[in-house]
Amino acid sequence: MGWLLEQTGPRAARASREPLRHRPADGLRSHPLPGGRRDPVADSAGDLVERQIRAEGVTVIAERDPDAPTGLMLKERRTPALTRVSYHRAASAASRATVSDLDEDAIRAAALLHLTGITPALSDSARALTLHAARVAREAAVPVSFDLNYRSALWSRPRARDCFRTLIPLADVVFAGEDEAALALDRSPDDVPSLAEGLASMGPSEAVIKRGAKGAFARVDGRSFEQDAVRIDPIDTVGAGDAFVAGYLAERLNGVPVPERLETAVAVAAFVCLSEADWEGSPRRAEQAQLTPEDPVAR
Residues tagged active-site: 242
SS3 256: coil
- Residues present in the chain in total: 299
Q: Write the CB contacts of 182 (distance below 8 Å, at least 6 apart in sequence).
A: 188, 189, 195
CA distance 35 to 190: 61
Torsion of Cα atoms, 275 then 277 then 279 then 281, to 10°: -20
Do strands 12-17 and 82-88 pair parallel, antiparallel, or not at all (unpaired)? unpaired
Nearest to 251 by CA among 1, 2, 7: 7
CA-to-CA distance for 249 and 261, rounded, in angstroms? 8
Residues 6+ apart with CB under 8 A from 222: none
- 18, exposed or middle or buried, with CB in 10 Å at 0-12, 13-18, 19+? buried
Instruction: List Cβ neighbours of 143 (8 Å cut-off, separation of 6 or more).
Output: 111, 112, 113, 137, 172, 173
| Ordered DSSP codes for 114-147 | EEETHHHHS-HHHHHHHHHHHHHHHHTT--EEEE
- Categorise residue 36: left if φ over 0, alpha if ψ from -120 to 50, beta otherwise: left
